[in-house]
Structure 1
């Protein structure tokens, strides 16, 4: 139990972590978190080499590994993470795997998480027991809905393709839940994965032995990418930082410089999350949890190991609209929001209303600070405008002419600059959290995003429809 030993060394002032954190220029909790994420990779190698054959004890092994990481990072506060496990086990036994169980699980876990935020959250970026708990919350809520779907399946209800893959027909035992929740590769920062996936992994459904070479290669690739993004983050935040954006000196620079600086800051700030996800994914692959079937190629079938992929790098780096960011960033959380929130709100009969409540859920899931709600509101108004604007443009002859001419390079540069700049504008409140801080940054940017996106439905859309009327494809055909 290395984590427990390191924690005891910290209590008696013998741990080297504070010294190393000072050299690197980070905090002790942040360095402990990073080391714990990295520790998942050698644990995966040890498990595959020495422990995989112990079929009966896999849940116990994973639970103990996760406990060790939890205790090292959060001390006795790790006990908070046991509460949702006990609750869903008891409610499922008492109420059965139906709608009531799913509703109670959702409400209880969100209230428990929000209470944790109230008790622990400050103005800074906090690393407390609520960090893994937010990931745990999604996993438990998803499990309650998967159990409900499993009951529907037993009753003969036809499920969607995605729902059929995750539906759970048999009630999980307590050891299954503990292994699932504390799985060491992604206990701290995700990615999330379904209970069905975990069951298949534990039962050796995936061809890990026969595909170990490919598995190890993909894991190493993700590990190196994660380390590369971690270095880029450390370099980037020393050049582009929020402290400067809050200074009077920043307000004295040109408005164009301020917008692009904010965009650069946001891009490097996101590397913090990307690096953690890549390192965690590397461990998931190395354990064998990420198997995702085979792909047919010229040389035959090649095994795929991207089931726990939380970031699509090429789409993220090449984004030319905000939908690209949504598709490529925090993929597993977006999948949860789509499958377990957005689609379950179909009864509202309005996709924009469903989208609004989905984003509200995600904001609540992140915390109680105003910055989170501002960021997700920004996402809502930007996506709303983008979809309607694109729908208008594709119906015109101008759209086809531009993308079939040499001007498309200039359009690409414009769109890339647009997404780059306004990603910074959107993300600033998320990082600053406190109202007066993000309002100060928005003041220095002259509230540009509000001026562009908020008036769209009442001002820009009617004017643009009128201007493009003569270029309509239908008008030309007539």
Structure 2
């Protein structure tokens, strides 16, 4: 609610302002999504000054003038690495080979699983490239400044849409989603998840599918993500606490959850890359729908165990009322009910 209050506007935008916000040259192709108030501050020249702090400079207070050059160069360097990776690795691991009839006939299940994992991993740099380049374009225009840190270095991550390290090291489904298409995720949370009275998770994923377009693969991906997210939540809530007592055990748990998360993401996003219905069904059939089945069973089992551990409402009331260590008898003296 605080974020929404900060971003609220008091005056309806004119048609020119509205079209400028939606069709500006910096983000018309691949984003990133930004708040209207931030965009208007940028257009009217308040974007940096409203975030700029004063620092002591040679004994005088002088406002820093952050330069975007370093941030743009870093983004372009990442883009170059993504392009090279795409040309060298991605093209040698085509996604459509996952549904090639000959491959499915001759390859064992572990082989199909391993190829799917590496082919999906190899397909990510093209998304990294597009979002990072779009971020660089905005920063080069002077849009994207967020703050100056305690070391006096300017940060240009306001419109950052992807955290590559966070994605590649994610040990939970939520962590992966939080670092992928960050600005769109923030928009979905604000307009749908925080506002929906019921079924917030399902409605948010359905809205995300509609937002992406009309390819059937998008709907397979986001509908599949619903039970997987529910299972991941249940596992984290019910099982993770048992592995936090030791650093070694916690490290082992993180390794296992990293592998499980990456395999689950691979299974989920495959339709997003295949796009059509027939190859999606072929792929899921070759995987025996195992993630669908495991996620639904896990959610159901852990949900039942969680309900079994919770005392019923009458027991809760009885527990809270009877727990008092001492009560007054009719004579006004205190008696202890339990002793």
Q: Is the CA contact (8 Å cut-off) linking 1:237 and 1:265 kept in structure 2?
A: yes
Q: Which residue of 2 aligns with 1:269?
A: 123
- Residues 226 and 277 in structure 1, CA contact (< 8 A), matched pair in contact too: no
Residue of structure 2 equivalent to 1:338: 189
Deviation at 1:344, TM superposition (A): 1.9
**Aligned match of 1:187:** 28
TM-score (norm 1): 0.58
Partner of 2:174: 323
Residue aligning to 2:159: 308
Structure-2 change in CA distance of 1:281 and 1:446 (3 Å): same
Maintained 8 Å contact 1:246/1:441:
yes
Q: Number of residue pairs matched?
A: 296
Q: Deviations over 1:190-248 (max 9, x none)?
A: 00112211111122113489766641111111121122112212333222112211112
Q: Secondary structure at the match of 2:33?
A: coil
Partners of 2:89 and 2:32 in 1: CA distance = 24
For residue 244 of structure 1, the aligned residue among 97, 122, 132 is 97
2:136 corresponds in structure 1 to: 282
CA contact (8 A) 2:270 2:280 kept: yes
Query: Which one of the candidate residues 86, 96, 106 is aligned to 1:233?
Result: 86
Aligned equivalents of 1:313, 1:242: Cα separation in 2: 21
- Conserved? CA contact 2:38–2:47, under 8 Å: no
| CA positional deviation for 1:274 | 1.4
CA separation in 2, counterparts of 1:291 and 1:212? 11
Q: Which residue of 2 aligns with 1:366?
A: 212
| TM superposition shift of 1:176 | 2.4
Whether contact under 8 Å (1:264, 1:420) holds in the other structure is: no
CA–CA distance in structure 2, aligned partners of residues 382 and 367 of structure 1? 22
Q: Is the 2:161–2:183 Cα contact (8 Å) retained in structure 1? A: yes
Contact 1:263 1:422 in 2 (8 A): no
Q: 2:202 aligns with which of 315, 335, 356?
A: 356
Mean CA deviation greater in 242-251 or 275-284? 242-251
Query: What's the CA shift for 1:455?
Result: 1.5
2:244 corresponds in structure 1 to 400
Alpha-carbon distance in 2 for matches of 1:425, 1:264: 12
Q: Structure 1 211/281 Cα, relative in aligned 2: closer, same or farther at 3 Å?
A: farther
Distance 1:234 1:415 in 2: 30
Q: Structure 1: where are the runs of 5+ without partners?
A: 1-159, 468-478
CA distance in 2, matches of 1:378, 1:457: 14
2: CA distance between counterparts of 1:284 and 1:242?
31
Summarize the Cα distance change of 1:460–1:169 in structure 2 as closer, same or farther, 3 Å threshold.
Answer: closer
Query: Displacement of 1:423 after TM fit?
Result: 1.3
Q: Which residue of 2 aligns with 1:19?
A: none
Q: Which residue does 2:224 correspond to in 1?
A: 378
**TM-score when scaled to structure 2?**
0.80
The alpha carbon displacement at 1:375 in A equals 0.7
1:163 aligns to 2:4 (yes or no):
yes
Change (3 A) 1:466 1:311: same
Question: What stretches of structure 2 of length at least 5 have no aligned partner?
Answer: 53-62, 310-339
Partner of 2:333: none
Q: What do the CA deviations read for 1:444-464 (whole angstroms, capped 9, x no partner)?
A: 122221221121233465579
Equivalent position to 1:446, from 288, 298, 311: 288
Determine whether 1:175 maps to 2:16: yes
Equivalent position to 1:429, from 251, 268, 271: 271
More helix by percentage: 1
User: Any idea what the Cα deviations from partners look like across 1:125-176, whole Å, max 9, x if unmatched?
Assistant: xxxxxxxxxxxxxxxxxxxxxxxxxxxxxxxxxxx32112221112323332
User: 1:255: how far off?
Assistant: 1.4
Task: Give the aligned CA root-mean-square deviation in angstroms.
Answer: 2.4
Change (3 A) 1:439 1:211: farther
